[in-house]
Structure 1
Amino acid sequence: MVKQQLKQPNFKDRLSQLGYLLKHTFTLVGKDPGIIRPWARMTVYALIMSNLFFLGILAVVLGVKSLAIILLLSAASMFLYKHFYYTRQEMRQSWLVSETLQGRQRSADEAGARVAELSATVRRIALIDMLVSGLILLSKNNDKSSGLLRFLMKGIEEVWDLLNHYLLPSAAVDAYGIKDGIARMKTLQQNVPETLVGVFGIDIAARAVGSIMGFVYFALIVLALCLGLMLGDAVTPFYVGDLVKTFNVQDYGYLPTNLHFSLLPLFIVLWLGKLGSAILERITTSVKVIYFSIFYMRITHSEDIIPEIRGELDGYLKMEDPNPTPITETGIATTS
């Protein structure tokens, strides 16, 4: 059912969706720090993990082996644990959004207590996410993987991304486990209002981050290669040699006698690119969590949404409303 309903946007649509969501999602839920805080925590976690990895690589290059082992093991540990940490934060965010839609602003402690009640479901979702991510990574890095297998894994990735973003509010709002949450998706589809037919199953901003960062990385790598030639042999640990001799192109008259090259600019570019990618990925994930939490509330608890904004949500969910009305602070949410 889910796979049949999944609609894959093209590149232009991905950018359009991402632009709309980045512009309007946090406006819609206002500036409630409770909703923003899970994104901030995930972003800090991702930045620390990325920095540990690149610092570990730097330590390897500089020959500080003991420090390199500590840094790389720390990065690997954070990489494995991130699925559990991110799932908890996303669950918090989903619950906070649902409470905001009902006119209540909750504290971080209340969100943490709610997620603690759902710890078993959180662990199961995180484990499935880890398994799917691992299989996808293996299929991409294995040269022996057939085209059919990679196509299958791509489909699994898309379906799980959709399932995951419905399971989060299903658990956070109604305390459904994975089995019950998946079983209810057929019912959810049948309960979609006529005005929102076509929204259910959209893979929001599908791989938009990867598409954007692909262009960014290409430009940065070209720049880094030029800087690497300019830097030459100035920084010994990153010096890789004379490219003219390495590639045996001495006979090409239009080339200079020597082309000394340094990997330092490329290393810095990859490091900065990864940090930028991590921030953008966390922002995109958060707006998707908020979007699907709003959609879940709209089709399952429409009567609980504060009346003043209930009718305006459809335009936002269809990404047609140019100026969604804020719900918190400058909007109309109440506190409890």
Structure 2
Amino acid sequence: MRFATVEEPDGTVRCGVVESGVEGESLLRLPAGTTVLDLIQAGELHAAGERAQAADDAVPLAGLRLLPPLDPPTVRDFVAFEEHVEGVVQSVSGGAGVVPEWYEAPTFYFTNPYALVGAHDDVAVPPGSGLFDFELEVACVVGRDAASPTPDEVDIVGYTILNDWSARDLQRREMKVNLGPAKGKDSATTLGPWLVTADELLPYRDAEGFLALDMRVAVNGVEIGQDLLSNMGWPFEELVAYAGRGTRVRAGDVLGSGTCGNGGCLAELWGRRGAQDPPPLRPGGVVEMTVEGIGTIRNTVVAGVELPPVRPARVRPRTRKRTS
């Protein structure tokens, strides 16, 4: 099943099951007030989907604004593609190759759950950024609470496309302090177009547990990158298990795969080519991502707000006693 959350023309937010027909896609609406997150946390997603199909309260999907399919409590983003690391390290930090520590365990950061945008929403350039970039990813959604789960104990309820929009110039400064990324990453993250339940993607699952989904990204109609999701260094179950190691994951948590290789972002290509080719994203640019078995998201970059520059830190006086 495919679960979407939409905003209707009158501003009402509804969720339901997306179905395709001869006249296009329709949303089989669930009762008002129902959310995808509530259904996941209650373990009722599939049952609710079956009820929606039986009730057949269908409206055309065209003309409805696609919101992120769920409102997750947390969003973690991994860096699970070796090829991406090879290129982007050269671009962001000036280094070369993949550090040995990358191979030892998955690495992730927490990103901003308040900055999620829908599949066709406009995305503003972050304040002060001149090197705006996309990142083509797939995210899994945790289906059940777990503490220190093994990979076999992990429950993944479904998958969606994730675009981790990145301000590379802000990211470069932050990571020189050996912390972050922070403001370089938290302006916007696209989730969508919907949540595809895990059973729908079983035909793409290989013997090692990876999903061999074709992933593509284009800017202004020109294809920039293409990869297979199965080129990840770890399958999603191992990423979730690592996220919950010594702590907990909860139903509805979103975990991104990290950016795919072979042009999954501009920074990887900048690092490999030693030049900003293709150029950074500019207002008016349209970024389209398609993942086999899931769907397509398409966002237009728009100008961001103009804000005063950030005040630099003062030179610390280093006095140890109060003065009168």
Output the TM-score relative to the length of structure 2: 0.27
Higher strand proportion:
2
| Structure index of larger Rg | 1
The one of the two structures with greater contact order (alpha-carbon pairs below 8 A, sep at least 6) is 1
User: What's the TM-score, normalizing by structure 1?
Assistant: 0.26
Structure with the largest fraction of helix: 1
